Amino acid sequence: MAGQWLSMQVYLLNPVENLRSYINTRPPLVIFMVSVSAVAIAFLTIGYFFKIKEIKSPEFTETRDRTDDDWRDQRETGQRGFHSSVSGELERI
């Protein structure tokens, strides 16, 4: 029992040596964990960048302006949108 306690204390007191032996005995697992960590850090960094930075696309604003103009024209002329006209046609059938 005393021998186990002593070996446990040595194991806990030398974490650098334990880490070094773990890396030497399991290199594929270490490489995998480093790769997964790098991908996670990259995704978090990209996500944070897109959260704080507004990315403007010229195509999106052009499409949005066109959609807003169509909506305004329909509202002014009293025309129904596509979905309303389709549901009206279905009610007639």
Are residues 42 and 74 part of one domain? no
Domain residue limits at 86: 58-93
pLDDT top residue among 43 and 13: 43
Are residues 48 and 13 part of one domain? yes
Please report, as a single letter, which amino acid is at residue 52. Answer: I
Query: Residue 64's pLDDT is what?
Result: 59
pLDDT digits (tens, 9 = 90+) for 21-51: 888 898 899 999 999 999 999 999 999 998 8
Are residues 43 and 9 part of one domain? yes
Please report, as a single letter, which amino acid is at residue 25. Answer: T
Give the DSSP per-residue string, the chain: -HHHHHHHHHHHH-HHHHHHHHHHH-HHHHHHHHHHHHHHHHHHHHHHHHHHSPPP-HHHHHHHHHHHHHHHHHHHHT---HHHHHHHHHHH-
> Based on the structure, what is the number of domains in the chain?
2
pTM score above 0.75 = no
pLDDT top residue among 93 and 29: 29
The answer on pLDDT for 53 being more than 90 is no
